[in-house]
Amino acid sequence: MSGTPLRRIDLIVAAVAGLAVGIAVVPGLSYVLPGHAAGSLLPFEGGLAAGLLMALGIAASKRPALWVPFRQFALACVVAAVTLAIVWKVDLDMSGKARPMTRTHFKHWIPGIAGAGFALWVGTFVAERWSRRRIPALTAVLFGLAIACVSLQGGKYQYDAFMGERVRAWNVYHYYVGSKYFGELSYFDLYAATLSADDDYIERRTKRGKRIHDHFSLIKKARDQRDYKNKPRAEIVEGFDRSVISEQRLLELGRDSRFIGKYMGFRSPGWHQTFKDLGYNPAPAWTLVGTPLSNVVPAKFPQFLIITNSDVPLYLATFLLLWWAFGLRIASVMALWLCSAQLNEARFTGGFLQYDWMCTTLSAIALYHRGWFKSAGVVLSWAAMTRVFPGFLVFGLILQAAIALARTRKLSGIKPAHMTFLLAFTLSCAGMFGASHLTGRGTQTWLEWGDKITRHSSLHAVTSNMRIGVGRLVIHQPRGKRYWSEVRGGKREKLAKTHDRKRKYQAFGGLLLLLALIRRKDLDAMILMLFLPFLLVVTSRYYASVWALLFVLGSAPRGSPDEGKISVAALVAGGVLLLDNATYYYWDRTTTSYFVINYVMYTLFCSLCAAYIASDLRAWWVGRRAVPEPEPVA
């Protein structure tokens, strides 16, 4: 009976009943839940959960084997609901007004949920090792906790994005306007053109005696994107060559900027800080998609919903791929970590392809793990060509391919998986490189980006305290009672003072990484390469989201008896990540918290590499001693 496939009529009945129940539950939850929750995705999530449970229940009555996933999903729903209820109560007690899905309230629940995730992650490992069997209930509990965490992080903000009420103005201004007018403005004139268009707007309205609104007149200074100095507005506008863009396009740019301007004010963070940012910086390959899409989609609703919800399909596809490749447990804990990390606080919603690099990097690893090497190479090439640093993941495989080639002196000595993946990756990168010259800047495209990103990277460690990398770590210098102080001096002076120390950290970490890569399995070699960009470049905090891959270190191949087990490496790395989320707000200062994150991750990466090296040395020593002595020749 349990192996009998469901009839089509049974599937139809289950689907229709589930849909009916789901639709019926949504208005009821919208009425019962408090206002902040009612105006979020929670009623729809509740309806979806109720509908799926109804459909699974009806299907299980015809095929008893389905009672297992029914019970697991029911347990996950209960855990999610109880977690949300507890968070609501705790937030009410702490703030007097329960609004846990607002970013200013995240600190009330992130420590608890991340701490619970840590306890579950470690507890699952211990319980399964002790009992020597899988415990599906623990996976269901982790899934339920992840649902609650994702709901709290994005439930309100994503609902507003779907309704056209949320636009992440900082991100969308740079990426929508920056890519739309890239052909005329390149990487250097976005701020100058925007302020020039705003001056024109103010002048036109003033002459006509009309009220001036939705403009940037409060912007008094902006960053010159050629020398990265903050300068008076008048100087920025005066230095803008208006001949690079037609008057009609400049007029349109002004309308686009004012449309986006309504979604952010002048508080912190606000527009006065946005114009002191480091500008439009994605590699030219991103513009291949950004430019045509921003020119096709006008700055008005409902069309603009395509822009502000552009990441949502990628999130769903990535989660499903991770589930398919590594199982529900790993996919859940990765989602939980990503949504409880301050790195991503209120950033996942309302932007314009702002997490495409994360989704494609995680998806590429999932595809590789399942043996889809060509697809993995193509998918990773997008992340590499648009944000560069994900491309570092291929270096571990390149090293192993080079060692194999040196040993055998034949291409056939290279593993077919390595050859297929690297060839697909290289050809895809080459195709995007060639096509990116068609985005309006011709042969100057990559040269202009290289000039811009070099300036950008040279000061990145000292333009914000929320940076990730060794270059930011060495800015720390204790001073008297202020242990977590920075090096004194101006921006360039700080960089000069810390240069030698940075090189020492880089050399030590780089040597460990190189030795650790030599005998690693494919997946581990790729994931360990996350250490290299941490050593070499300073990135914005949200790029550290790819650390989620540390949860799949040591994953056994599909079909292996150990498939789905938590490895010791993943236990340690994942535990550190979750514990770091749980303790982030303990430090109560952003500068301190990010110094701590950088020290913790440098130590973690070095420790992982050292452990792998020790394991390799032990295996070599055991193997050496196992080799029998040659028989003496008579």
Q: Beta strand pairing status for 230-232 and 467-468?
A: unpaired
The Cα–Cα gap between 567 and 553 comes to: 7
- C-beta neighbour count of 557 within 10 angstroms: 13
Residue 15 backbone zone (phi > 0: left; psi -120 to 50: alpha; other: beta): alpha
Q: Within this chain, do residues 275 and 386 fall inside the same structural domain, yes or no? A: no
Q: Within this chain, do residues 175 and 293 fall inside the same structural domain, yes or no? A: yes
C-alpha torsion angle, residues 181, 183, 188, 189 (rounded to 10): -40
Q: Which candidate, 355, 29, 316, 44, places its Cα nearest to that of 175?
A: 355
DSSP letter for 563, please: T
Task: Evaluate whether 181 touches 294 at the Cβ level (below 8 Å).
Answer: no
Helical pair 445-459 and 284-296, crossing angle rounded to 10 deg = 110
pLDDT of residue 625: 66
Q: Within this chain, do residues 461 and 610 fall inside the same structural domain, yes or no? A: yes
The Cα–Cα gap between 551 and 569 comes to: 8
Q: Within this chain, do residues 376 and 254 fall inside the same structural domain, yes or no? A: no
In degrees, to the nearest 5, what angle opens at C-alpha 84 toward C-alphas 81 and 89?
125
Helix (H, G, I), strand (E, B) or coil at 512: helix
Q: Within this chain, do residues 447 and 422 fall inside the same structural domain, yes or no? A: no
412 Cβ partners below 8 Å, 6+ apart? Answer: none
DSSP letter for 464, please: -
In a domain, 109, yes or no: yes
Q: Within this chain, do residues 508 and 597 fall inside the same structural domain, yes or no? A: yes
pLDDT of residue 634: 47
How many CA atoms within 13 Å lie on the side-chain side of 456? 21
The residue type at 155 = G
Kindly tell me the sign of the dihedral angle through the C-alpha atoms of 359, 361, 367, 369: negative
Q: Which of 112, 131, 162 marks a domain boundary?
A: 162
Q: Which of 429, 450, 476 marks a domain boundary?
A: 429
All residue ranges of the chain with pLDDT < 70 are 1-4, 213-214, 625-634
pLDDT of residue 626: 63
Task: Evaluate whether 357 touches 541 at the Cβ level (below 8 Å).
Answer: no
Q: Within this chain, do residues 154 and 48 fall inside the same structural domain, yes or no? A: yes
The residue type at 348 = F
Q: Within this chain, do residues 133 and 79 fall inside the same structural domain, yes or no? A: yes
The residue type at 607 = S
CA distances from 138 to 60, 174, 204, 600 (A): 22, 43, 64, 28
Task: Evaluate whether 604 touches 576 at the Cβ level (below 8 Å).
Answer: yes
DSSP letter for 231, please: E
In a domain, 328, yes or no: no
> How many distinct structural domains can be found in the chain?
4
The Cα–Cα gap between 365 and 552 comes to: 9
How many CA atoms within 13 Å lie on the side-chain side of 191? 31
Q: Within this chain, do residues 179 and 299 fall inside the same structural domain, yes or no? A: yes
In a domain, 444, yes or no: yes
CA distances from 529 to 54, 294, 314, 378, 544 (A): 45, 34, 24, 18, 13
The Cα–Cα gap between 22 and 42 comes to: 12
DSSP letter for 173, please: I
In a domain, 454, yes or no: yes
Q: Within this chain, do residues 29 and 173 fall inside the same structural domain, yes or no? A: no
Q: Using the structure block, give the residue that is written with the tokens 């440098």.
A: 602
Q: Within this chain, do residues 156 and 13 fall inside the same structural domain, yes or no? A: yes
The Cα–Cα gap between 202 and 258 comes to: 12
In a domain, 626, yes or no: no
In a domain, 317, yes or no: no
The values of phi and psi at residue 351, to 5°, are -100, 175
Name residue 468's beta-bridge partners.
539
Q: Which of 363, 395, 429 marks a domain boundary?
A: 429
Q: Using the structure block, give the residue that is written with the tokens 């799926």.
A: 52
DSSP letter for 482, please: B
Burial category of 328 from C-beta neighbours within 10 Å (exposed 0-12, middle 13-18, buried 19 and up) = buried
pLDDT of residue 587: 87
The residue type at 587 = W
The residue type at 117 = G
Q: What is the pLDDT of residues 33-68, one digit of tens each?
A: 988 899 999 999 999 999 999 999 998 888 888 899
The residue type at 92 = L
The Cα–Cα gap between 358 and 355 comes to: 5
Question: pTM for this one?
Answer: 0.94
Identify the H or E element spanning 232.
Answer: strand 230-232
Q: Within this chain, do residues 548 and 420 fall inside the same structural domain, yes or no? A: no
In a domain, 231, yes or no: yes
414 Cβ partners below 8 Å, 6+ apart? Answer: 401, 404, 405
In the structure encoding, which two tokens stand for residue 302, read together? 């409902």
In a domain, 347, yes or no: no
Range of the domain at 412: 355-429
First to last CA, the chain: 71
The Cα–Cα gap between 245 and 251 comes to: 10
pLDDT of residue 413: 83
The Cα–Cα gap between 416 and 403 comes to: 14
In the structure encoding, which two tokens stand for residue 255, read together? 């309308």
